[in-house]
Amino acid sequence: LLRSSRLRRKAMAKLYRLFGSSDYRAAGAMRQTLVKVVNEDHSHLLSKIHCPTLLVWGDQDTDTPLWMAKKMEQEIKDCGLVVFSGAGHYSFLDRSQQFCLVAAKFLEG
């Protein structure tokens, strides 16, 4: 059983290296913490957010797909969603000029 468990851990580690998100691959010593945080469901807390909220998403984000943003937008009371076409998980970097414009407008009120 120990050998089987060790083999399973090695196989999973290899799969995560091959197919894991860029955040997972870059997490290093914080990897286990990242796994715990990512795998927890906090959706029940979304309705408790009572401040204006802006979600900025890339339509090509495979780490946190667009359907997640749409769910958040529905659950958060005063929420807007901006989706950048062709942008990925780091949409604010992929579309930095557009992001700065959108963020400035949002912060102006």
Q: Give SS3 for 97.
A: helix
The CATH number given to 42-109 is 3.40.50.11320
**pLDDT (tens digit per residue) in 51-92:** 999 999 999 998 889 999 999 999 999 999 999 999 999 999
Q: How far is CA 56 from CA 2, 6, 9, 85, 100, in A?
A: 45, 40, 35, 11, 11
Any idea where the domains of the chain sit in the sequence?
A: 1-40, 42-109
pTM to 2 decimal places: 0.69
Please name the amino acid found at residue 42: H
**pLDDT (tens digit per residue) in 4-60:** 666 666 665 655 555 456 665 566 676 677 667 666 788 999 999 999 999 999 999
